[in-house]
A = this chain, B = another copy of it.
Amino acid sequence: MSRWEPNAADRLRRAALELYAEQGFDNTTVAEIAERAGLSERTFFRHFADNREVLFAGASELQQFLVESVASAPRDLAPIMVVARAFESASIYFEGRREGAQLRQAVINANPELKERELIKLSVMASALANALRARGVREPAATLASEAGVVVFRIAFENWVEPINTRDLAHVIRHAFAQLEEVASAK
C-alpha cells in the first residue's frame, strides 16, 4: 500500500508548523496535519513519532551534523573555535528555511511545555558536543565550557536571525555572536 511521497517529511513539517501557528499546538491533531499536507496519517507516523516530534526531529539531525563536524575539525584548533565552526557550517542546513524557523520559534515560545522540551534538547546537544570534544582530547572543564557556551551563543544568534528585522545570513550572525562572547567573557 505504501507509495513514494516526494518530500513527505518537509510537507508534513510545513503543514504542522502552519497549523500550530494558526490554531495552537495543543489544538492540532495528526489527522489535520496529514490532511493539510495532502498525505495520510500513516505517512505521518512513518516520519514522526508524534506531533511534538515534528518540531524537534530537526534538532536531532543538527546535533548529529555538529558532532561529526567537531570530530573532523583540524587537530590544533582551540575548543571554542571547533564549536563555533561547527555551528557556522551547520547554518547551511537552515538556508531557505528562515520562514519555517520563525514559525517554529513562535510556536515554541507560545507553549511552556515546548519551551522546556527545547531547553532539554539544547542541553542534550551541549552534552553531545562536550563528548565529541573530549574524544578529541579536550580536558574538563574546557570541553563543557566550550560546548555549553557555544550552545548559548548559537541560541542567541538563532533567535536574532529569525527576527523579521534581521537581514544578515545565519553564518554571519553566528560568527558575530561568538565574537561577542569573547568580548563579554574577557571584560574587566
Contact = CB atoms under 8 A, between A and B. Distances in A.
A182 interface: yes
Contact of A187 (B80, B148, B184): B80
Contacts of A188: 78, 81
Interface in A140-178: 141-142, 144-146, 148-149, 152-153, 156, 160, 177
| Copies of the polypeptide in the assembly | 2
Q: Mostly helix, strand, loop or mixed at chain A's interface?
A: helix
Given A116-B116, A119-B120, A145-B153, A186 B180 contact: no
A181 interface: yes
A123 interface: yes
Contacts of A156: 141, 144-145, 148
A153 B142 CA distance: 11
